[in-house]
Structure 1
Amino acid sequence: MAKAQKKQALGRGLSALLKDPENDIQSSSDKNADKVIGNVVELDLASIEVNPFQPRTKFNDDALEELASSIRELGIIQPITVRKLDFNKYQLVSGERRYRASKMVGLETIPAYIRIANDQESLEMALVENIQRQDLDPIEIALSYQRLIDEIKITQEKLSDRVGKKRSTITNYLRLLKLHPSIQNSMRDGDVSMGHGRALINIDKEKDQLQIFDRVVRSGLSVRATENLVKAYKNSDNKIQNIKSSKSSIPEFIIKNIDSIKKNLDVKVDISANADGKGKITIPFNSEKEFKRLKKILAGD
């Protein structure tokens, strides 16, 4: 405990140093820069702005509330990373969830690592760190990869080394950006998975891609069933009207009732079944709070 208090006191001391106009550190060669760069500093939340290069655009409210509760009880365990913009003005590089949750709790300061970087370096740091640390949806990851390639002028081979992913993995993500925007949005909302998207991308004709996508959503098809549907389409000379119902198609009694199940539970429900009516229902949840809510509904409490 004494060590933690000493570290926190040091952070506050460095914070006071940064607020002194005579110590306006702009580069690593400036006076006292070595005392700040690489160390944890307590910064005013009001002095930090959100990074416009942040690839994450959606934040789960339940997950933020859980993080806020954890911060309220235990404090910030992992400091955020910021870059210096001007005197006592900073911009997030990584850690926006911690930043948002801290504001929810009502904290006035937050521990942070300070970096001095230009916009391109900041973009690269933000994208790479978020790809590695955050639970981005497939489209956000794909957009992050594409931005690194376009704006940092990096090849897929070098990107593979930078983010620690196989080149084939990066290619699979990038291909998702060729899907129709409505399919991309459904992936971002969690209505269909990356597996569904990878299957649908094999359909070149946009109109047919959307029609098959609509069938996948309406019938609640699994990834395997979607792959079979696309295969049937390809084997029918790319004529959607020639696709016959396969044994993996969802039975009519499920199609008629799936919407009422989703509406009652208020979550996306994944149902897979064969023509004989044998299958399974998968109900996802994102937090303990949501799990208890679902349990209460299913138990009829």
Structure 2
Amino acid sequence: MAKAIKKQALGRGLSALLKETNSDINSAEDKFADKLVGNILEIELDSIEVNPYQPRSYFNEEALRELASSIKELGVIQPITVRKFEGNKFQLVSGERRFRASKLIGNKTIPAYIRLANDQEMLEMALVENIQRKDLDPIEVALTYQRLIDEIDLTQEEMSVRVGKKRSTISNYLRLLKLDPIIQTGMRDGFLSMGHGRALINVEDPEEQLKIYEKIIEEKLSVRQTEQLVKDGKETPVKIISNPTKQKDNPEFISKGLKTFSAYFGHKIDVKLSGVDKGKILIPFHSEEDFNRIKKLLE
């Protein structure tokens, strides 16, 4: 199928036309737009830049290698999508994994579908495409919904139509952003599910949220157990890990820094002072898996 695409692209003589097109194509009225837009061409990888609006910042290396191996064997079955820039330059609209995997195996060109898109449309398409991915964690989904609201100015009703999700589903994701950043990090690292997060939203006190979060990690509580713990919180005491140094006694630079450390490591980080401006940073872990996760963050 990849060979058929290449034959179609080169057979029309459109690749030669690209060299004559030295300006952006932003509308159907632009020169050569009628000849290029809507066609699949074999484009040099070095002439394509990634989409600056791409919300996806992490690409699994192992998955990329698997895709690269498939492309090496079968070719790029589904073309990427690009828009035309000035000169012989293009910008990705979608297909960054295929683009990266093709470069990984040393390919020089890739089949690409050319379409019209302005900056606003580029951002919206990137965000909506991002939501359709199956490997997103709940916080990534929530942040993407929030960007659609903030940057595209969509209401939840409009977004429901664009992404094909119920408004209640969108609302449930957005509520996760009210959780403490440490808990959000735990969800991004896979220690909590969306069900855990939805249960914790019902705890108004941030400190109490963190105590329950630590208990979930330590005792590997299920979503149902977490819901029950939240519901009967007063009857089921939460284990409180003693803090060797109270936050209020810490110098201001430590108090501010602890929030950054805690968000990064996904746990509440403590310090043990041995002077006015010296001491030890204490990083807790709750399992071998958790220890290895923290170790990887420090490598």
Structure 1 and Structure 2 fold alike (TM over 0.5) = yes
**For the Cα contact (< 8 Å) 2:81–2:112, is it kept in 1?**
yes
Structure 1 SS opposite 2:81 = strand
Change in CA separation of 1:199 and 1:48 when aligned onto 2, cut-off 3 Å: same
- TM-fit CA distance, 1:116: 2.4
CA distance in 1 between partners of 2:219 and 2:131 (Å): 32
How has the CA–CA distance of structure 1 residues 38 and 229 changed in structure 2, closer, same or farther, with 3 Å as cutoff? same
Letter in 1 for 2:7: A
Amino acid across the alignment from 1:259: S
TM-score, length basis structure 1? 0.74
Question: How many Å separate the matches in 2 of 1:50 and 1:7?
Answer: 22
CA deviation map 1:101-143 (0-9, x unaligned): 1111111111112222221111011111221245322111111
Structure 1 residue 136 corresponds to structure 2 residue 164: no
Aligned length: 246
Structure 1 position 145, deviation (Å): 0.8
| Aligned CA distance change for structure 1 residues 55 and 21 (closer, same or farther; 3 Å) | closer
Change (3 A) 1:167 1:22: closer
Matched, 1:36 2:67: no
Aligned to 1:9: 7
1:58 aligns to what SS in structure 2? coil
The verdict on how the C-alpha distance between 1:47 and 1:206 changes in structure 2, with shifts beyond 3 A counting, is same
Structure 2 CA distance for partners of 1:83 and 1:137, relative to 1, 3 Å: farther
Which consecutive aligned stretches of 4+ in structure 1 deviate over 6 angstroms post-superposition? none
Assess if the C-alpha contact under 8 Å between 2:21 and 2:32 holds in 1: no
How far 1:164 sits from its partner (Å)?
Answer: 0.4
Alpha-carbon deviation of 1:148?
A: 0.9
Distance in 2 separating the partners of 1:184 and 1:62: 25
Three-state SS of the structure 2 residue aligned to 1:56 is: coil
Note closer, same or farther for the CA distance 1:15–1:191 as it changes in structure 2 (3 Å cut): farther
Counterpart AA for 1:199: A
Query: TM-score w.r.t. structure 2 length?
Result: 0.74
In structure 1, runs of 5+ residues without a counterpart are 243-257, 268-301
- Report the CA distance between 1:26 and its aligned residue: 4.5
Determine the C-alpha separation between the residues in 2 that align with 1:218 and 1:170. 30
Question: In the alignment, is residue 113 of structure 1 matched against residue 113 of structure 2?
Answer: yes
Task: Tell me, in whole angstroms, the C-alpha distance in 1 between the residues paired with 2:78 and 2:60.
Answer: 19
SS state at 1:106 partner: coil
**Which residue identity is paired with 1:215?**
K
Q: Root-mean-square deviation (CA), in Å?
A: 2.6
The reply on whether 1:161 has 2:161 as its aligned counterpart is: yes
For 1:258-269, list aligned pairs within 5 A.
259-260=287-288, 262=289
- Superimposed CA distance per residue, residues 131-174 of structure 1 (whole angstroms, 9 cap, x where no aligned partner): 12453221111111111111111110011011100001101111
Is 1:82 matched up with 2:110? no
Task: From the superposition, tell whether residues 239 and 203 of structure 1 become closer, same or farther in structure 2 (CA, over 3 Å).
Answer: farther
The 5 Å alignment of 1:210-289 reads 210-233=210-233, 236=234, 240=238, 259-260=287-288, 262=289
TM alignment of 1:94-113, pairs within 5 A = 94-113=94-113
Greater Cα shift, 27-36 or 122-131 = 27-36
Is the Cα–Cα contact under 8 Å of residues 94 and 130 in structure 1 kept in the other structure? no
Aligned mates of 2:125, 2:118 — CA distance in 1: 11
Fraction of identical pairs, as percent:
63
Alignment correspondent of 1:65: 65
Shift of 1:5: 3.6
- How far apart, in 1, do the equivalents of 2:220 and 2:239 lie? 20
Which structure 2 residue ranges, 5 or more long, are not aligned? 241-285, 294-299
What is the rounded CA distance, in whole Å, between the counterparts of 1:192 and 1:241 in structure 2?
Answer: 18
State the Cα deviation string for residues 212-240 of structure 1 (Å, max 9, x = none).
Answer: 1111112121222211211122xx29985
The CA deviation at 1:83 is: 2.2
| Deviation sequence 1:44-71 (CA, Å, 0-9, x none) | 1111122121122222222111111111
Q: Aligned equivalents of 1:55 and 1:239: distance in 2?
A: 40
Cα distance change of structure 1 residues 150 and 47 upon mapping to structure 2, 3 Å threshold: same
